[in-house]
Amino acid sequence: AAAAAAAAGSGPGVLSGFYDPSLIGFEETVAFALETTRAALVAGGPSLTHCQPLKEILAVQLPSAMCHAMIHHPSMNVTSCFVQTALALLKFDDSEFVSAVGAMVERVLLPLAERQAGVPTEQQEAALEGLLDLIRQPEFARRLFVSHDCRLDRTPLFESLFTALSRLALIDAPLGG
């Protein structure tokens, strides 16, 4: 729950550099930061979650900072790095990380994929590819359903995700545009 709330927009704490307003126009720097974070997550593996304060940073503050980075630095490269870092978070077999990635999907990737924010086609394509990459992960769809849709206090994210993907797949124009 804390991870979902953090990803939804509460303060990022120690990871504030991801969405520093002075970096507007420096999408390459933000993409590099996301890629470096992904590399650290992959290299550290599950041992990173053994330390509770570090686990909290990874499950709460990192997803929040990533969402802010996507909002303040929209580009195809940042979107791609965002998705790859989210995939690295899913490697941690913990419900907190599934909830955090679910919140990231709901707040950032789904609106981009549905082009709700008036985003360029390239960024929409990157968001769609990212959603498909997430869905292809073993157990992600089931874990997302269990952590979001089976609870009355949560939005039907699983349903929204697959409805959006189905709608976009059935439209004649490329990517629904």
Query: pLDDT tens-digit profile of 73-82?
Result: 878 889 889 9
Tokens representing residue 28 in the block: 């390459």
pLDDT of amino acid 102: 87
Closest CA to 73 of 29, 126, 118, 121: 29
Tell me: pLDDT of 13 over 50. Answer: no
d(CA 17, CA 7): 16
CA 71 and chain centroid, separation: 11
Number of domains in the chain: 1
| Residue-wise DSSP of 70-102 | HHHS--HHHHHHHHHHHHHHHTS--HHHHHHHH
> Residue 118, Cβ neighbours under 10 Å: how many?
6
Tell me: pLDDT of 150 over 50. Answer: yes
Q: In percent, how much of the chain has pLDDT > 70? A: 73
pLDDT of amino acid 8: 45
| Contact (Cβ atoms closer than 8 angstroms) between residue 7 and residue 67 | yes
Query: pLDDT tens-digit profile of 81-134?
Result: 999 999 999 888 788 888 898 889 888 888 888 876 567 788 888 888 888 888
pLDDT of amino acid 35: 97
How far the first Cα of the chain sits from its last, in Å, is 35
Range of the domain at 39: 2-176
Tokens representing residue 116 in the block: 């709700």
pLDDT of amino acid 142: 79
